[in-house]
């Protein structure tokens, strides 16, 4: 039952995403048929998509999607992830996959303290022993393989490693990055979001070149004095400066 680390890989993305987005955007403003609109070269298509996406016209972004394979994450992370409902998920089942030697994730605050880390690993080991004993006892009572797994899993901790396939369209990904790349986001899902963002930036910079936490697009921090990381000025500070600059 070793400690594991995050791994994010792109499984698939929409073929020719720039052309798809270009056609979708142009269709909104053209009497021509979308399939006949691909007359510009790639660079001009990319510039047009970047301009339109940057203008706040987001609905055409739903035509392009990314599918990621993720491993080395905890159930803590996936409980947060599935709150993003405009997406598709396929997660490793604890009913069909036996956790007789489960892997786990250790939070950095515990990882850096040898005493806490030792206690954490010891706790995982005790839970593992209890889970395996539960499986055996349920099997002896005649429970099927899946039946024993589905009941024994109630003792498993949220630190247990899980694997998941995630599909989101570009519009939802932008929202996901706004929320989860923020310094206020929980550390584990923030790390995953940044890995996904770097992949998206590489594959589709016209849409994701300036993506990230909300402050990047807003130019100010909307979190307020209590929660700001100070990477950007607070909204109130920006408005105050603008008001002062507008006075004669």
| Residue positions annotated with a catalytic role | 180
Residue 234 DSSP label: B
Residue 45: count of CB within 10 angstroms of its CB: 22
DSSP string spanning the chain? --B---EEEEEEE-SSHHHHHHHHHHHTT-SS-GGG-TTS-HHHHHHHHHHHHHTT--GGGGG-EEEEEEEEEEHHHHHHHTT--SSEEEE--TTTS--TT--B---HHHHT-HHHHHHHHHHHHHHHHHHHHHHHHHHHTT--HHHHHHHHGGG--TTBEEEEEEEEEHHHHHHHHHHHSSTTS-HHHHHHHHHHHHHHHHH-HHHHTT-SSHHHHHSSB-S-TTT--SSS-BHHHHHHHHHHHH--
């Amino acid at each position: 039952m070793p400690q594991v680390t995050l791994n994010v890989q792109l499984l698939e993305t929409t073929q020719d995403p720039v052309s798809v987005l270009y056609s979708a955007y142009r269709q909104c403003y053209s009497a021509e048929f979308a399939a006949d609109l691909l007359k510009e070269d790639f660079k001009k298509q990319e510039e047009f998509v970047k301009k339109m996406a940057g203008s706040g016209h987001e609905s055409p972004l739903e035509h392009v999607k990314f599918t990621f394979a993720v491993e080395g994450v905890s159930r803590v992370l996936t409980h947060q992830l599935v709150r993003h409902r405009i997406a598709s998920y396929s997660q490793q089942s604890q009913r069909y996959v036996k956790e007789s030697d489960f892997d786990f994730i250790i939070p950095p605050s515990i990882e850096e303290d040898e005493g806490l880390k030792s206690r954490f690993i010891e706790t995982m080991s005790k839970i593992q022993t209890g889970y395996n004993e539960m499986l055996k006892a349920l099997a002896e009572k005649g429970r099927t393989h899946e039946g024993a797994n589905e009941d024994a899993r109630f003792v498993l901790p949220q630190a247990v490693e899980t694997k998941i396939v995630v599909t989101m369209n570009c519009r939802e990904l932008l929202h996901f990055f706004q929320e989860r790349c923020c310094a206020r986001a929980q550390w584990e899902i923030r790390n995953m979001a940044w890995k996904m963002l770097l992949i998206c930036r590489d594959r589709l910079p016209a849409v994701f070149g300036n993506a990230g936490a909300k402050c990047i697009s807003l130019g100010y921090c909307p979190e307020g004095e209590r929660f700001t990381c100070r990477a950007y000025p607070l909204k109130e500070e920006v408005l105050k400066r603008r008001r002062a600059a507008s006075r004669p």
